[in-house]
């Protein structure tokens, strides 16, 4: 198995990419810390992992809070003895997020607190654990919009994901010789609850789909497969990347006339 003897902490693990990655990583031999603010759904993921003979615990944490992030790392180490993989995946896409004239300050602040500060705090405490482990792999969920911008305005989300990419690059350089790899996973548009709530009309969906050469939204399971590569030793020479899995959108991203 590709993650034998590894311990993975995954935030935003009760749904979407986080859930699919938790299940896949467990199937590949990792022990999983399922981290989310949704206790009911998080516990369901733990039970699914146990049903396939995997090992997992649920940890309730708000990634925008330093104490919660410190605690999630401590609980993972206390339960499993180490931290090998940190997948900073938790994020929001607020339906009120729009262009700079419409988006309110509270939407901006909340988006930054979870999407960007949450990654910073995860790394702040996770890197210390990885030093104790002699290395590890950090995966930060960014987005293609952090590279290209979005056809449907969402300035706070786009800026937060651009920040994740920049943070990932810097951390990868700082910690490369400590055997700690840091990569940004940049999904294209996905058929997840998060995006479908934002693209809540057929017109909005079609405005996004028109840019995707494959002509469809991606699936959370496809992102989990990409994350598995970054988590595994197969990516041992991969750090500081924007790992783009987007159906071709960043290769053909133009505004239609």
Q: What is the CATH number of the domain that holds 46?
A: 3.40.50.720
Count of domains for the chain: 1
Instruction: Tell me how far apart the alpha carbons of residues 131 and 159 are, in angstroms, rounded to a whole number.
Output: 30
Instruction: Tell me how far apart the alpha carbons of residues 166 and 233 are, in angstroms, rounded to a whole number.
Output: 24
Supply 182's token pair: 């840091």
Residue 212 has pLDDT above 70, yes or no: yes
> In the predicted model, what is the mean pLDDT of residues 160-188?
98
The pLDDT, as a whole number, for residue 151 is: 78
Using the 8-state DSSP alphabet, how is residue 233 labeled? G
136 domain residue, yes or no: yes
Phi and psi based region of residue 149 (left: phi greater than 0; alpha: psi -120 to 50; beta: remaining):
left
Instruction: Tell me the percentage of the chain whose pLDDT exceeds 70.
Output: 98
The answer to whether the pTM exceeds 0.75 is yes
Residue 202's pLDDT band, with cuts at 50, 70 and 90, is: confident
Q: Which residue has the higher pLDDT, 53 or 255?
A: 53
254 domain residue, yes or no: no
Instruction: Tell me how far apart the alpha carbons of residues 25 and 31 are, in angstroms, rounded to a whole number.
Output: 8
Residue 256 has pLDDT above 60, yes or no: no
> In the predicted model, what is the mean pLDDT of residues 142-159?
93
Q: Give φ, ψ of 88 to 5 degrees.
A: -80, 90
Residue 12 has pLDDT above 90, yes or no: yes
> Which residues span the domain enclosing 176?
7-245
Residue 91 has pLDDT above 50, yes or no: yes
21 domain residue, yes or no: yes
Residue 79 has pLDDT above 80, yes or no: yes
Each residue's pLDDT tens digit, 39-67: 999 999 999 999 999 999 999 999 999 99
The pLDDT, as a whole number, for residue 257 is: 43
253 domain residue, yes or no: no
In the set 125, 157, 237, 253, the catalytic residue is 157
For 88-120, b/e burial (b = at least 16 CB within 10 A) is: bbbbbbbeebbeeeebeeebbebbbbbbbbbbb
250 domain residue, yes or no: no
The pLDDT, as a whole number, for residue 253 is: 58
204 domain residue, yes or no: yes
For 202-217, b/e burial (b = at least 16 CB within 10 A) is: eeebebbbebbeeeeb
Residue 254 has pLDDT above 70, yes or no: no
Average pLDDT score, the chain: 95
* 157 carries an active-site annotation: yes
Residue 19 has pLDDT above 80, yes or no: yes
Task: Give the residue among 96, 121, 104, 118 at the shortest CA–CA distance from 12.
Answer: 118
């Amino acid at each position: 198995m590709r993650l034998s003897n590894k311990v993975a902490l995954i935030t935003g693990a009760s749904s979407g990419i986080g859930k699919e990655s938790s299940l896949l990583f467990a199937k590949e031999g990792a022990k999983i810390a399922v981290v989310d603010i949704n206790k009911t759904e998080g516990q369901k993921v733990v039970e699914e992992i146990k049903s396939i003979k995997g090992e997992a615990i649920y940890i309730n944490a708000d990634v925008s809070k330093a104490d919660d992030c410190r605690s999630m790392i401590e609980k993972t180490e206390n339960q499993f003895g180490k931290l090998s993989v940190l997948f900073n995946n938790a994020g929001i896409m607020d339906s009120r997020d729009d262009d700079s004239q419409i988006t309110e300050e509270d939407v901006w602040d909340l988006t930054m607190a979870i999407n960007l500060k949450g990654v910073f705090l995860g790394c702040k405490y996770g890197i210390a654990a990885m030093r104790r482990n002699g290395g590890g792999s950090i995966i930060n969920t960014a987005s293609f919009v952090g590279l290209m911008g979005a056809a449907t305005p969402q300035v706070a989300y786009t800026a937060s994901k651009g920040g994740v990419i920049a943070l990932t690059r810097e951390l990868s350089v700082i910690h490369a010789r400590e055997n700690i790899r840091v990569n940004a996973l940049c999904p294209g548009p996905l058929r997840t609850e998060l995006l479908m709530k934002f693209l809540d009309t057929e017109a909005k969906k079609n405005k996004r789909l028109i840019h995707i050469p494959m002509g469809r939204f991606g699936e959370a399971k496809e992102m989990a497969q990409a994350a598995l590569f970054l988590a595994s030793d197969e990516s041992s020479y991969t750090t500081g990347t924007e790992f783009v899995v987007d159906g071709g959108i960043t290769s053909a991203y133009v505004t239609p006339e």
